[in-house]
Chains A and B, each alone.
Chain A
Amino acid sequence: MPERKVRGQVIVALLLAVLGFAVAVQVRAQDREGIYPGARRSELVQLLDSLDAANLRADRQIAELEATKRELQTSTNATQTAQQEAREEATTLAILAGTVAATGPGVAIEIQDQKGSISAATMLNAVEELRDAGAEAIEVNDTARIVAQTYFADGDGSITIDGAPVRPPYLIEAIGSPQTLSVAVSFPGGLADEVEALGGSVFVAEADAIDITALSQQRAPEYAQPAP
């Protein structure tokens, strides 16, 4: 094979190598860069437009969802507040109705009655005086919780509270402002004087912690209905 022919072939091979190289590089670059570099201007504009539209849609969606989120949060907060209020009210009502034990500052009043001359009326008076002085929870002898439905009746040498006999000495415990309560008992012409006039005696002790553990029987109203 003449030398000239070999050289020609080598040159052709060289050029083909360049071509192959370029093809490979271009194919690789096309793979890597995706569709955008080869796209025309109008296509790119269209692409941009559709992206803008999608962006706008997404923005609107975000706004909507955030509004929904805010609404839900607000309603959740409202629900929580309502629940909190309902719980507090339930606690208040439970104390008033005497269905839960209560503790707090108050007074313990001991009434000695050797002659058995203390009547239900006197006891009712005592309770009324304490209520007037702002007593929030009252019990007698650790057994009878005094609530709105409580009734007093005279028994045989004792007092009947809510149908259960309570015997002297009577220990009335009341939660409220200790000073106010003790003044309510001992003011001239008040409970203390009344009891002493009947031949009994009264001892009042103020305490930082009075525990009222007697519970009243909850009775569902049989006749009364909530008025519309």
Chain B
Amino acid sequence: MIPVIGLLVGIAAGLFLDPSVPVALQPYLPIAVVAALDAVFGALRAYLDGIFDDKVFVISFVSNVVIAALIVYLGDQLGVGGQLSTGVIVVLGIRIFSNVAAIRRHIFHA
């Protein structure tokens, strides 16, 4: 229950405070968000499997975000930022889909 409240509070804060994204962060924020989403869905699946561990979640969340940002940063330095961003998004998207599929099987047994 507390995590759901946290999520809502975060969204509300973002909508109401409405800060502008710093220019340096602009290329990384979308990738970081997708990476974090991947971590969240993975956590949800683990929770439904009954193997959720908050320490694992925190580490996977942070490392997902950091690695995604790092890959994009590296891509930018190499001049292939756009392509690498696409690659990261694709990989994370596949992972999110498989996690969601597992969650669906848990909830609907189908």
Chain A interface residues toward B at CB < 8 A: 6-26, 28-29, 37, 40-41
User: Known contacts A23-B11, A24-B13, A26-B33: does B6 contact A14 (CB below 8 Å)?
Assistant: yes
Known contacts A8-B54, A9-B54, A26-B29: does B18 contact A21 (CB below 8 Å)? Answer: no
> Contact: B9 with A25, CB < 8 Å?
no
Q: How many residues of B contact A (CB 8 A)?
A: 34
Within 8 A of A (CB), among B1-52: 1-15, 18-21, 26, 29-30, 32-33, 36-37, 40, 43
Q: Is the interface of B mostly helix, strand, loop or mixed?
A: helix
Among A15, A17, A19, which residue has its beta carbon within 8 angstroms of that of B33? Answer: A19
Let me know if B57 is at the binding interface, CB within 8 A.
Answer: yes
Contact residues in B for A23 (Cβ distance below 8 Å): 10-11, 14, 33
The complex places the Cα of A204 from the Cα of B98 at a distance, in Å, of 125
Contact call A20/B9, Cβ cutoff below 8 A: yes
- Does the CB pair A26–B10 fall under 8 Å? no
Residue in contact with A13 in the complex, picked from B2, B15, B26, B32, CB distance below 8 Å: B2
Nearest opposing residue in chain B for A28, CB measure: B18
Q: Which residues of B contact A (CB under 8 A)?
A: 1-15, 18-21, 26, 29-30, 32-33, 36-37, 40, 43, 54-55, 57-58, 61, 82
Closest Cβ of chain A to B75, distance in Å, is 13
For A26, what are the chain B residues with a Cβ–Cβ distance below 8 Å? 21, 29-30, 33
User: Complex formed: what's the CA distance from A29 to B1 in Å?
Assistant: 29
Rounded to whole Å, the gap between the CB of B43 and the closest CB of chain A is 7
Q: Which of B10, B37, B82 is A24 in contact with, Cβ under 8 Å?
A: B10
17 A-B residue pairs with CB within 8 Å: A6-B2, A8-B55, A11-B54, A11-B58, A12-B3, A12-B43, A13-B5, A15-B6, A18-B36, A21-B10, A21-B11, A22-B29, A24-B10, A24-B14, A25-B29, A26-B30, A28-B14
Report the bound CA distance from A21 to B14 in whole Å.
4
Q: Which residues does chain A contribute within 8 Å of B19, judged by CB atoms?
A: 25
Closest A residue to B11 by beta carbon equals A20
Which residues of A sit under 8 angstroms from B21, Cβ to Cβ? 25-26, 29
Give B23 Cβ to nearest chain A Cβ, in Å.
Answer: 10
Minimal beta-carbon separation of A22 from chain B (angstroms): 5
Partner among A17, A28, A37 whose Cβ is within 8 Å of the Cβ of B10: A17
Known contacts A20-B6, A21-B14; 15 further A-B pairs (Cβ under 8 A): A11-B54, A13-B2, A16-B4, A17-B13, A19-B10, A19-B33, A20-B11, A20-B14, A23-B11, A24-B12, A25-B19, A25-B21, A26-B33, A28-B14, A29-B20
